[in-house]
Structure 1
């Protein structure tokens, strides 16, 4: 099978709050802004925010699906997490630094950098 993963979305309860959080986190403005589905273009990867309640869908939050975002180096990683709520502490695992934080909507997100 030849497949490519080009996008993911996170469920959000408050679209405006989630957009502000990720605009600050990514340091860029949202690419497509909509009250139900908004998208950030992260180097060709579509990072979506889905207001599931507006579509009357039920979802649970937590760590059952963990988006992982890689940054250039440990200093960038440390700067990104300094004001965030962590759910997995900054830890060296093999050749990576790994940390998990909780976003404004309760989603767990992994951030990594090479050692």
Structure 2
């Protein structure tokens, strides 16, 4: 959990709002971004491909620089899709995260 919290504190440039070994929460403009450590409750992980968290950012260049510093792999390169610039990266725990920036 500490590794995930550290990753997202650096990415979001803020401290975690609720820190716990099992369930930690960032509250960003009323939205809760939660981190869950399933191993603490002996819950099996079933990996699927039907959920991709998506976050809006204001500055893709700044995000890309942060991802380099955090050593987060970009798995879908910066691409223009309609009015948005989109990229996907893998976080410190192996989760794929989509980000987009409006023009």
Alignment of 1:31-70 (within 5 A): 31-61=17-47, 63-70=49-56
Q: CA deviation at 1:68?
A: 0.6
Q: Which runs of 5+ in 1 are unaligned?
A: 1-14
Q: CA deviation at 1:79?
A: 3.0
Q: Find the residue that maps to 1:81 and give its secondary structure.
A: helix
Match of 2:98 in 1: 110
Q: Find the residue that maps to 2:87 and give its secondary structure.
A: strand
Cα distance between partner residues in 2 of 1:49 and 1:74: 23
Match of 2:5 in 1: 19
Assess if the C-alpha contact under 8 Å between 1:100 and 1:111 holds in 2: yes
Q: CA deviation at 1:84?
A: 2.2
Q: Find the residue that maps to 1:89 and give its secondary structure.
A: strand
Residues paired across the two proteins, number: 101
Q: 1:80 to 1:95 in 2, by over 3 A?
A: farther
Matched, 1:99 2:56: no
TM-score with structure 2 setting the length: 0.88
User: How far does the alpha carbon of each residue in 1:47-82 deviate from its partner, in whole angstroms, 9 at most, with x for none?
Assistant: 110110111111134643111110113333433433
Cα distance between partner residues in 1 of 2:20 and 2:6: 13
Q: Which runs of 5+ in 2 are unaligned?
A: none
